[in-house]
Copies of this chain bind each other. A is one copy, B any other.
């Protein structure tokens, strides 16, 4: 259960007429959390696609705790909860520059191989992704 963090700045285009970051932005930030997770584990998603795997989103859950504003510095912590058979599950926490929890979430993913059939990742790739102790 490794955790990887990255920080982004809320874009003006991400705000809505309520003056806060639109709630759909968090799904995009969490996706970048996964991207960063995979890059730090030396297995960027682009390489996964090169090897013929596609990872699709099967489920997403979000709990919104506090609003984020334009120019806020948001740190997304991404944890790989599960990498078993053809399933990947991630958890996320987003905090602002004051450390306030903005949102939490979870996504479940299915790994697809040739002909878009659910396919288990090879054990060596799972080991790379799961290399927890060195995490962050």
Give per-residue flags for A116-134: 1 if the beta carbon is below 8 A from chain B beta carbons, else 0: 0000000000000000000
Name A's interface SS: mixed
Tell me whether A57 and B23 are in contact in the complex, defined as CB-CB below 8 angstroms, given that A44-B71, A46-B71 are known contacts.
yes
- A89 interface residue (CB < 8 Å to B): no
Contact B11 A35 (CB under 8 A): yes
- A63 interface residue (CB < 8 Å to B): yes
The copy count of this chain in the complex is 4
Q: Identify which of A12-20, A79-87, A90-98 touches chain B.
A: A12-20
- A62 interface residue (CB < 8 Å to B): yes
Binding site for B on A (CB under 8 A): 9, 11-13, 15-20, 22-24, 27-28, 31-32, 35, 39, 44-46, 54, 56-64, 67, 69-71
